[in-house]
Amino acid sequence: MRIEDYALIGDMQSAALVGRNGSIDWLCLPKFDSPACFAALLGDKHHGQWWLGPAGARRPDATRRRYKGDSLVLESEWDTPGGTVRVTDFMPTRHVNPDLVRIVEGVSGTVEMATEIRVRFDYGRIVPWVRRTDGLLQAVGGPDSVWLHSPIPLQGGDYAHKARFQVAEGERLAFVFTWHPSHEARPVEIDPFEQLTQTEQLWEEWLGQCAYQGPWRDAVVRSLITLKALTYAPTGGIVAAPTTSLPEDLGGVRNWDYRYCWLRDATMTLEALIGAGYLEEARSWRAWLLRAIAGRAQDLQIMYSVTGERRLTELELSWLPGYEASRPVRIGNDAVTQLQLDVYGEVMNALYLSRASGMEPDDRAWTIQRELLGYVEAHWDEPDEGLWEVRGPRRHFTHSKVMCWVALDRAVKQVEEFGRTGPVARWRELRDRIHAEVCHKAFDSARGTFTQSYGSAELDASLLLIPMVGFLPPEDPRVVGTVEAIQRELMVDGFVLRYPLDEDNDVDGLPGGEGAFLACSFWLAEALAMIGRKEEAVELFERLLALRNDVGLLSEEYDPRYGRMVGNFPQAFSHVPLIHTARALS
């Protein structure tokens, strides 16, 4: 299936992808970054899959599907010659162990159904040992164990379990899949119908806090729900996406693991949540951040695990063929070792916004911020890998310098507005010096635009953020010139590229092309609105909204060459600027 053929369900600790045809092709348990027990997304059914749908020679796509109201409860319906059937998929709020529930309901007539389940632990590598106990199936492999409660008998064979059954109008049959550590006792069974009601109520109550009431409410609400689903509830960490190795270039090598907490992505997510009225999530994230980055400022990483682990070693899984033969399949991410100076500005900005939104002061947070500022003062003038985590040579990226300015600017604001103490005169002087240097070394006066890095001729979509972070006002001719240059030179087929991918441009050190990062096009829409071209901004924004799949989700990129989504899915880095742009245009 195409990437956009999937929908997301989750319990705010992990998540599953459910295809249009009723197949669950991706699920990592017990956490977002745990090994997958269903990994067909990156291989085929033999790497783990659970299909449930109308019986027949093929597996047809659902006639229609939707989330039930403003929730993460997915409903898929098939119209068949015998009648209509509905499958409801969800993961209830976790009690002790993670559960996945699939409820089959007869809507009209009588429908012949079938199911086929293949559990494979460790990303499809381990075929578990399966036994029957009290009418349940238990699969065990190493540290993992799952129990499957099925309302109909399942027949084993070919390392899978299958069944055919009928469902008549008014009937409801519930399957419950529960994971637990293999050394522990059998988990307590849940009531799936009771949990369905509670899950719906949970989302209804959460959405009741939403402060956004603009014209694009449906898109904003679905994006907020997605961001909440990508939050690891026990710690407050926010993952960039629930998947790994979905390609940025179909058949290529740009396949990365996004199941971690990027400080950049998480801080932008925090801003979106604060703007929508969700301060409790902001408090949880701040607590996660302070735990994760505790220690020496020079040891700050650009990303951490959902629980704050720092070692995210990148490995290749040779037994998985990859999504549409896009190899290698990777887990872990070596970008964790990169120097990306912009994250210091992102962190300082997020903590400033937290205070400005009314969150209580935290003396420990300010102590850590002062440590981070000391590092910025000593290293701001060094080259780095930048926002896009390039694997080519380090450069003096303009966005990185701008965000170092942001770090110092937000520190000064905390002194001025909240009475914090620190060497504010020194911070002001360095802030102004960085500003002057960027305006001198990163601005191409002949073309009237800022450039990607000092001395370069290339443009970069991150330059669109200059007015959004307050580095220059929107009406400044240098801002207007930059927006217009990006619109003129970086737009391809109506979408904004991150930067040129010409053969003679070795900025990222990787072969092949890529799709257009959706965040960049959302940034352009917001920037156009800021410089007074709102009609153009709305037109671009609504064209981007039309790219969402049938249940309102976006991946990292859209590739106009194929007319398809590419990259990890769903992607926080796409849904966050959607929310920002909707608020700006509203």
Local structure of 150: helix, strand or coil: coil
Q: With beta carbons less than 8 A apart as the criterion, state whether 341 and 404 touch.
A: yes
* H-helix segments, 153-296: 192-207, 217-229, 263-275, 279-292
Instruction: Report the interhelical angle of 398-418 vs 342-356 (nearest 10°).
Output: 30
Going by C-alpha positions, the residue among 258, 209, 247 that lies closest to residue 513 is 247
Which phi and psi angles does 474 have, rounded to 5°?
-60, -30
Fill in the amino acid letter for 586: S
Model pLDDT, residue 508? 65
Rounded to 5 degrees, what angle do the CA atoms 369, 373, 374 make? Answer: 120
Cis peptide before 570 (omega within 30 of 0): yes
> 237 - beta bridge partners?
232
* Sequence-separated (6 or more) residues with CB below 8 Å from residue 507: 390, 392, 395, 452, 458, 499
What is the reported pLDDT for 113? 98
pLDDT at 578: 97
Three-state DSSP state, 585: helix
Query: Distance between CA atoms of 278 and 79, rounded to whole angstroms?
Result: 39
Q: Check if the beta carbon of residue 85 is closer than 8 Å to that of residue 167.
A: yes
- What is the spatial distance between Cα 523 and Cα 347, in angstroms, rounded to a whole number? 20
With CA atoms as reference, report the closest residue to 586 among 540, 534, 543, 536.
Answer: 534
Positions of the chain with pLDDT lower than 70, given as ranges:
502-509, 511-512
Q: Give pLDDT, residue 321.
A: 97
pTM > 0.85: yes or no: yes
pLDDT of residue 503: 54
Look up residue 26 and give its two tokens: 């991706």
Q: What is the pLDDT of residue 95?
A: 85
What single-letter DSSP state applies at residue 397?
B
How far is 579 from 105, CA to CA, in rounded Å? 35
**Contact (Cβ atoms closer than 8 angstroms) between residue 26 and residue 41:** yes
- By residue count, the chain amounts to 586
Amino acid 263: pLDDT: 87
Contact criterion met (CB below 8 Å) for 123 and 138: no
Q: CA of 303: how far to CAs of 195, 273, 309, 335, 453, in Å?
A: 34, 20, 9, 8, 23
**CA atoms of 252 and 471, how far apart (whole Å):** 37
| Secondary structure (DSSP) of 513-534 | ---EEHHHHHHHHHHHHHTT-H
Alpha carbon 221 to its chain centroid, in Å, reads: 16
461 phi and psi angles, rounded to 5 deg? -60, -25
Beta strands 136-141; 99-118: pairing state: unpaired
Residues 427 and 372: their CA atoms lie apart, in Å, by 12
Other Cβ atoms closer than 10 A to 266: 31
Would you say 473 and 466 are in contact if contact means Cβ atoms under 8 Å apart? no
Q: Could you identify the residue written with the tokens 């689903």?
A: 229
The rounded mean pLDDT for the chain is 94
Sign of CA dihedral 105, 111, 112, 116: negative
Distance separating alpha carbons of residues 106 and 169, to the nearest angstrom: 4
pLDDT given for residue 300 in this prediction: 85
Instruction: Give the residue among 216, 327, 93 at the shortest CA–CA distance from 579.
Output: 216
3-class DSSP state of 470: coil
Each residue of 192-204: b (16+ CB within 10 Å) or e? beebbeebbebbe
